Structure formats: C-alpha cells, structure tokens
Amino acid sequence: MQLLHALADAPGGVSLARLCKHLGVRMSVLLRTLAWLGTANLDGQPGPDWVRVEDRGERQFAVLTPVGLAEHAQRSAAQTLQGS
C-alpha cells in the first residue's frame, strides 16, 4: 500500500497536502482513507489504528502508528518473499 510506504519513509509524519500530491489523490479521498486506517468506528468495528492525523498549527500531518509500522514491515517482508 503506497500510503503506508510513504508514511514509513517519514517517521515525523507527512502533511496531508503533500501526501495528496505524492499519492495523486484528492483531499476527500485521503481523509476517508485515513479515517478507515485509523481508529474510526466504521460499520460497528473500530479501524486497525495504523495511522493518526495530528494538528500542528494550521496544518495536519498523517503519522504511522507503531501498529501501522508493524503492518508495513509485515507487508514489505511478504512482498520480498514473493519476489524471491
């Protein structure tokens, strides 16, 4: 998943505007995706808590949580094994 990869490369987080540009998506799509990957309660189930959004002054940043970092590492390892 490109979003997890982009956030894993930036431990301090990435501004939402920069993330939209990097991924080539609209802000509304990014916000829905971040809610789904965060802790938002969707269909009665909490999200996986892979990302969180932080307010820093007038800007918002997406940050990978420790759970998200572990998920990214697991996906990267699986992808490496498939490529072997």
Question: pTM of the entire structure?
Answer: 0.87
- Any idea where the domains of the chain sit in the sequence? 2-83
Six-digit token string for 72: 């990214």
CATH of 2-83, picked from 3.40.50.720, 3.40.50.360, 1.10.10.10, 3.40.30.10, is: 1.10.10.10
58/80: higher pLDDT: 58
Condensed to tens digits (0 to 9), the pLDDT of residues 42-79 reads 888 899 999 999 999 999 999 999 999 999 999 989 88
The values of phi and psi at residue 24, to 5°, are: 70, 35
Residue 84 has pLDDT above 90, yes or no: no
Euclidean distance between CA atoms 55 and 41, whole angstroms = 20
Residues near 5 by beta carbon (within 8 Å), at least 6 away in sequence: 72
